[in-house]
Chains A and B, each alone.
Chain A
Amino acid sequence: MNPVARTVLQRLGLGLVTLFIVSIIIFSAIAMLPGDFARAMLGQSATPETVAAFQREIGIDRPPVERYFVWVGQMLHGDFGSSFASRTGYRRTVAEIIAPRLYNTMFLASMTALIAVPLALGLGILAALYRNGWFDRLVNAVTLTTISFPEFFVAYMLAYLVISRDTFIGSEFAQSLPHWLALSLNWILNAVPKFPTLSNVNDQTPFWEHVWRVALPAITLTLVIVAHMMRMTRAAIINMLASPYIDMARLKGMSPMAIVLRHALPNAWAPIVTVVAFNLAYLVVGVVVVEVVFVYPGIGQLMVDAVKSRDVPVVQACALIFAATYILLNLTADVISIATNPRLLHPR
């Protein structure tokens, strides 16, 4: 068999196995719940009958292996079970809670990726080409600083900036400044677009309105992601530019453009794709915090609320979605790296 196909199949198989194990881990979460969990959920006033009914509902009375396969089977049919927030006569399925929020999160993540990936790759390649120059030093200092910031700090800073355009001129701080300085600062602040600081959307929100409302969360995530991705791109490119065949290309009199496009790029896909996948996977995590800051109805915020109310079926479903996305992204990166490796493409 073609070694590329074989390696790709191996990786896909490994990905499936990983997903399987991850689903077991996430599933066992419910099995680890403390015994008095039902009572805690239903409150002290619950009758023994309701407690038993609830336990039957979450399936604690059946053997775990059976429960696992029922759970997986249901999920494959799009049935993620019922939320613990369901009450008699009012069943809230996990799927119906998650669906609109999943769309919102994907919307935010794709928008961020569309801005961040080209920006980070471009800046990273520039910094690598002009390494140790002023541009590189500046970018290094700035990104080292931004990756040290918690996402919510960046988020609130941006929100504060937007709010300040209205509140700054009347503040005590502005009045303590010389008049001209306060005025010019105010003028600068007024150049900041009046982005909404709360990203409330619903399924009726028009597309461009949606884009406008998620501007701040998207910018926040972009800032955080770009810093990471750019540093890694720079490192990957520098690492490759140090290889002897790049030296050789220089000594063959190739132009810098030809060196980058013909000699560096064909060998750079694997490292660059790995960097992109790693950071998109990181986006999955960043999304949780940013959604909470801007009260954006996404799956991250849902998960946090579910954790607080200990709504385990919802937590499980969200975790599985996040983990599957993460595994899928890394798998894609692996497959692309394999498919662009000349040693595998052209076996001996």
Chain B
Amino acid sequence: MTSYEPIAQVPRLRRSRATRAKTALKKAPFSAWFGLLVILGYVIVAVFAHWIAPYGETQVFSEAFAPWSQQFKLGTDQLGRDMLTRLIYGARNTIGIAVATTLLSFAVGVSLGLLAALYRGWLDQILSRAVDVLMSIPSLIFALVLLSIFGSSITSLIIIIALLDSTRVFRLARAVGLNVAVMEYVEVARLRGEGPKWIVAKEILPNVMPPLVAEFGLRFCFVFLTIAALSFLGVGIQPPTADWGSMVRENATLITYGDVTPLLPAGAIALLTVSVNFVVDWFLHATSGLRDER
């Protein structure tokens, strides 16, 4: 150690997890607050879509491409369905599917990544080489190939994207897992004679949580954007399910007449990913406790 660290200042009293979270929140920058509020808003809309939406998800009215009015706040789409309603249900479907996909991707990626980090050897070799190969195909392209074979049902969409995305989660989980697995406190536990269950649950998991939580946010954004892109391309979430990506595509012609309506679902996607990124940025900053140059 060099002598640049300040005079040893050991905090006197240990604060509980809740109060520490509260002080961290108080110090959070504006962008993080903004992000948290927006995410909260999206979640509320998604959960209560059924009660908030003025009409039914697939309810069709006589006029297609109706302009904004009292009856249709944001007009109607190419089949005469209320845009606002579709937008609200879209929150539920698009976010729900993205969250499910990210969760699945993490379940697979984290468990395999930590196993590989802990046991090394042939298991690690096989998994790592397999991931190398999977990652040598761009995931959107790979997804397109698989979707052309299995068709675009919501289940196959979730499974395909989750598996492709879990490769990246695997890499991160393995890397941070390796960093922790070589620490001497893990060696202490092994010398003590602890079993692998205890070592993973008590020694490794608590120490890999912060980077994994941050990665969850980033992976969610990526998955969310991938699904939106696929739906936009017409091979993702299929009609009549309301979804932001396909809403953009179906109503894109309106843009040529200078109508912003089709940009709204795209903007909704952008706003959510920006918010998640803001929160993750702050979280990384707060948990690492380091300036980037040191």
Q: How far is the CB of B275 from chain A (nearest CB, A)?
A: 8
Query: Does A292 belong to the interface (CB within 8 Å)?
Result: yes
Q: How far is the CB of B94 from chain A (nearest CB, A)?
A: 11
Q: Are A150 and B266 in contact (CB under 8 A)?
A: yes
Q: Are B233 and A289 in contact (CB under 8 A)?
A: yes
Query: Does B221 belong to the interface (CB within 8 Å)?
Result: yes
Query: Does B274 belong to the interface (CB within 8 Å)?
Result: yes
Q: How far is the CA of A166 from the CA of B256 in the complex (A)?
A: 10
Q: Are B234 and A281 in contact (CB under 8 A)?
A: no
Chain A 248-288 interface mask (CB, 8 Å, partner B; 1/0)? 00000000000000000000000000000000011011001
Chain B 254-269 interface mask (CB, 8 Å, partner A; 1/0)? 0111101011001101
Q: Which residue of chain A lies nearest to B144 when distances are taken between CB atoms in the complex?
A: A307
Known contacts A156-B266, A160-B263: A148-B274 contact under CB 8 Å: yes
Q: Tell me the residues in window 114-157 of chain A with beta carbons closer than 8 Å to chain B beta carbons.
A: 131, 141, 144-145, 147-153, 156-157
Q: How far is the CB of A17 from chain B (nearest CB, A)?
A: 9
List chain B residues, Cβ under 8 A from A85. Answer: none
List chain B residues, Cβ under 8 A from A285. Answer: 138-141
Q: Are A315 and B148 in contact (CB under 8 A)?
A: yes
Q: Which residue of chain A lies nearest to B275 when distances are taken between CB atoms in the complex?
A: A148
Q: How far is the CA of A330 from the CA of B133 in the complex (A)?
A: 12
Query: Does A326 belong to the interface (CB within 8 Å)?
Result: yes
Query: Looking at B133, B140, B148, which has the most chain A CB atoms within 10 Å of its CB?
Result: B148
Q: Tell me the residues in window 156-171 of chain A with beta carbons closer than 8 Å to chain B beta carbons.
A: 156-157, 159-160, 163-164, 166-168, 171
Q: Are B137 and A326 in contact (CB under 8 A)?
A: yes
List chain A residues, Cβ under 8 A from B140. Answer: 285, 288
Q: Which residue of chain A lies nearest to B130 when distances are taken between CB atoms in the complex?
A: A21
Known contacts A144-B277, A160-B263, A235-B292: A152-B149 contact under CB 8 Å: no
Q: Tell me the residues in window 235-273 of chain B with beta carbons closer than 8 Å to chain A beta carbons.
A: 235, 245, 248-249, 252, 255-258, 260, 262-263, 266-267, 269-270, 273
Q: Are A148 and B277 in contact (CB under 8 A)?
A: yes
Looking at B100-108, B173-181, B201-209, B224-232, the stretch in contact with chain A turns out to be: B224-232
Looking at A45-53, A316-324, A337-345, the stretch in contact with chain B turns out to be: A316-324
Looking at A2-10, A26-34, A213-221, the stretch in contact with chain B turns out to be: A26-34
Task: Give the size range of B's interface with the partner.
Answer: 35 or more
Query: Does B194 belong to the interface (CB within 8 Å)?
Result: no
Q: Are A149 and B273 in contact (CB under 8 A)?
A: yes
Q: How far is the CB of A125 from chain B (nearest CB, A)?
A: 15
Q: How far is the CB of A92 from chain B (nearest CB, A)?
A: 18
Q: Are B149 and A32 in contact (CB under 8 A)?
A: yes
Q: Tell me the residues in window 265-294 of chain B with beta carbons closer than 8 Å to chain A beta carbons.
A: 266-267, 269-270, 273-274, 276-278, 281, 292-294
Query: Does A222 belong to the interface (CB within 8 Å)?
Result: no
Q: Are A156 and B233 in contact (CB under 8 A)?
A: no
Q: How far is the CA of A152 from the CA of B245 in the complex (A)?
A: 9
Q: How far is the CB of A185 from chain B (nearest CB, A)?
A: 13
Task: Give the size range of A's interface with the partner.
Answer: 35 or more
List chain A residues, Cβ under 8 A from B256. Answer: 163, 197
Q: Which residue of chain A lies nearest to B147 when distances are taken between CB atoms in the complex?
A: A307
Q: Which residue of chain B lies nearest to A168 when distances are taken between CB atoms in the complex?
A: B258
Q: How far is the CA of A164 from the CA of B249 in the complex (A)?
A: 19
Q: Are B258 and A303 in contact (CB under 8 A)?
A: no
Q: Which of B221, B235, B248, B263 contacts A148 (CB under 8 A)?
A: B221
Known contacts A18-B136, A163-B256, A197-B256: A319-B142 contact under CB 8 Å: yes
Q: Tell me the residues in window 193-240 of chain A with beta carbons closer than 8 Å to chain B beta carbons.
A: 197, 235, 238
List chain B residues, Cβ under 8 A from A67. Answer: none
Q: How far is the CA of A150 from the CA of B26 in the complex (A)?
A: 31
Q: How far is the CA of A197 from the CA of B256 in the complex (A)?
A: 9
Query: Does A11 belong to the interface (CB within 8 Å)?
Result: no
Known contacts A242-B293, A281-B138, A323-B138: A152-B248 contact under CB 8 Å: yes
List chain A residues, Cβ under 8 A from B31. Answer: 141
List chain B residues, Cβ under 8 A from A293. Answer: 252
Q: Are A241 and B293 in contact (CB under 8 A)?
A: yes
Q: Could you show 23 A-B contacts with beta carbons less than 8 Å apart?
A: A18-B132, A144-B278, A148-B270, A148-B277, A149-B273, A150-B228, A150-B229, A150-B232, A152-B245, A153-B267, A153-B270, A156-B252, A156-B262, A159-B255, A160-B263, A238-B292, A281-B138, A288-B229, A304-B233, A307-B148, A319-B137, A322-B141, A326-B137
Which residues of A are interface residues toward B (Cβ below 8 A)? 18, 21-22, 25-26, 29, 32-33, 131, 141, 144-145, 147-153, 156-157, 159-160, 163-164, 166-168, 171, 197, 235, 238, 241-242, 281-282, 284-285, 288-289, 292-293, 303-304, 306-308, 310, 312, 315-316, 318-319, 322-323, 326-327, 330
| 9 smallest beta-carbon distances between A and B, as pairs | A167-B258, A148-B273, A153-B266, A148-B274, A307-B148, A285-B140, A322-B141, A149-B270, A323-B137
